[in-house]
Structure 1
Amino acid sequence: MTDSTKTRARGADKRRRLMAAAAQVLHRQGVERTTIADIAQAAEVPVGNVYYYFKTKDELVQAALSEHSAHLAEITARLDELPDPRERLKSLVAGWIEQRDLAARYGCPTGTLAAELDKREEGGMDAEVGQLIRSLMDWVERQFRELGRPDAPELAVTLVAAYQGMSLLANALRDPEIMTREGNRLTAWLDTLPAS
């Protein structure tokens, strides 16, 4: 490996660490309270180096959105390996339940970011986070379609809205068991839906 290849690899690693740190810190602190220094510290990158990869905090918010999108793609790709769409949906809900402590402390990463970005006047990133939520709804809708449900779009809204609601309540009340109870209720509901 040449020196220039090693340098590029180190640079790519720093960029990846900054993107992951941006997603994590913005979820925990929110956009307005997070500084570039906070993200640099979480990524273990000197603050001055951040500007080489990201010129503004908005670029870091954009990077966080990309991280959330990549994470959703990874989750749905793993779930798509399951043979049955109902099991895919139930596994999605199980994943939400597993994240109950994080949701109780900070809320849904995408939902909280959507609410915060919607209040900003500049940037237009609220539409991008909306696309991320739309991606989840589209995947959920495909599962219901595979079950032969003609009401797949409505069922997708019901499931994703239930997740956002239980995340919000768990966060507002600092009660992770809301995620457990409501997630189990969603799983039972999925079991009662007949395939058409």
Structure 2
Amino acid sequence: MTDSTESRRPRASATAKRQRLAAATARVLHEQGVERTTIADIARAADVPAGNVYYYFKTKDELVEAALEEHTAHLNALTDRLDRLPDPRERLKGLITEWVAQRESTARYGCPTGTLATEIDKREGGLDAAAGRVIRQLLDWVEQQYRLLDAPDPAGRALALVGAYQGMSLLSNALRDPEIMTREGARLLRELDAPS
């Protein structure tokens, strides 16, 4: 038995609506934070009736999980794109360039994953582990690039690079100064070009 076109269309529409809600959730949580965000805010951002949100997500924690899935999907798309570059050093430079390109948003709202991880760490429910997995995935990818470069202590270098990003994101946000991202990004690029 096969699905008819008519029976597939509602499922595709439901999947698209759920995806739209997840993307809106990630964006609104980044801009407003978990505690300040309401279901109505998310529904408005996704352009769906508020009651529809509950059809796809029963609790606010499920919405936070959906936002973390969005962050994972964004990270996967970014690293897949960077993996097409032939050289691991160029991949790392591409990552830094991507971070700097987001400087205006970062200055206003902070790092999307980092700020969410910090906020949900203070809540009950175990979502902090899910946020940690997204950050761990980034660390592992960066470490792999350093391994491919035969750099000494690739895990330590990965931690330093991702930590530098989190630090420059925090300072850029706290001081509302996107140029911190520009200056620190340029410094990180110079360090990558320096002989080991």
Q: TM-score, normalised by structure 1?
A: 0.96
Structure 2: gaps spanning 5 or more residues: none
Alignment of 1:13-162 (within 5 A): 13-120=16-123, 122-162=124-164
Sequence identity (%)? 67
**By how many angstroms is 1:123 displaced?**
1.0
Distance 2:75 2:114 in 1: 13
How many equivalent residue pairs? 193
- 1:28 counterpart letter in structure 2: E
Distance 1:193 1:12 in 2: 49
- 2:138 counterpart letter in structure 1: L
- 2:139 counterpart letter in structure 1: M
Q: TM-score, normalised by structure 2?
A: 0.96
Q: Superposition RMSD on alpha carbons, in Å?
A: 0.9
Distance 2:139 2:157 in 1: 9
Distance 1:143 1:2 in 2: 44
**SS in structure 2 of the partner of residue 15 of structure 1:** helix
CA distance 1:171–1:9, change in 2 (3 Å): same
2:188 pairs with one of 173, 177, 186:
186
Distance 2:152 2:101 in 1: 30
Structure 1: gaps spanning 5 or more residues: none
CA distance 1:84–1:21, change in 2 (3 Å): same
Distance 1:65 1:40 in 2: 18
Query: Are 1:3 and 2:23 matched, yes or no?
Result: no
